[in-house]
Amino acid sequence: MKQKILFLVDDLSHDFELYHPLYGLEWEGIETVISGSKLTHTSKFGRQIKCDITFDKVNINEYNGIIIPGGFAPDYLRNNKNVLDIVNYMNKNKKLIASICHAAQVLISADIIRERKLTCVKQIAVDVINAGGIYKDSPVVVDENLITSRVPSDLPGFTNTIIKKILNRGR
């Protein structure tokens, strides 16, 4: 059965944190869909991100997991009810949730990190701890269905860990 992963983006999503995992998954034959609050967003570096679907049109049952890139978009995403509903559905159903950098802010707002191990960019580590998460300063942290990473230089490990998890090639 072909796997299908939903990316959650908004204005100021980090270009590399979106496209590195997206292309890595596509290379492995995993279907990817980019979703946003609108069909076109401007990335952190000023490029256009074309979305396949808006959050309100997502049929969450079609997806095996989500990936949330960082940048400054998580500040918008964390206040979007549709996004929080998607994250909570994925968590409740033990489907893949992957976030990098500032995207842990979305996990905090969805209230899914209590007593879970995760990592993020150091600037928001205190927010993770205050929300009940167990912060680890590691390139990639896996806690059941949750895969988190810190910064763009961690992208190779982050992407490979996601692929292994989706294709059941690892833990």
Q: How much is the mean pLDDT over the chain?
A: 97
pLDDT of residue 169: 58
More confident of the two residues 148 and 168: 148
Which pLDDT does position 27 carry in this prediction?
97
Residue 171 predicted with pLDDT over 70: no
Contact assessment for residue 112 and residue 97, using Cβ atoms and an 8 Å cutoff: yes
- Catalytic residue at 51? no
CA 98 – CA 107 distance, rounded (Å): 10
Give the CA-trace dihedral at 80, 108, 33, 148, to 10 degrees.
Answer: 160
The two structure tokens encoding residue 156: 């190779």
For residue 54, pLDDT over 60 is answered with: yes
From 14, 20, 101, 120, the catalytic residue? 101
Instruction: Please report which residue ranges of 70-154 form alpha helices under DSSP H.
Output: 74-77, 81-92, 104-109, 125-130
Please give the model's pTM, rounded to 2 decimal places: 0.97
The active-site residue, picked from 14, 41, 102, 120, is 102
Active site residue 101: yes
Tens of pLDDT, residues 58-114: 999 999 999 999 999 999 999 999 999 999 999 999 999 999 999 999 999 999 999
Residue 2: its pLDDT value, please?
86
- The residues spanned by each domain of the chain are 4-166
Say which CATH topology domain 4-166 has.
Rossmann fold (3.40.50)
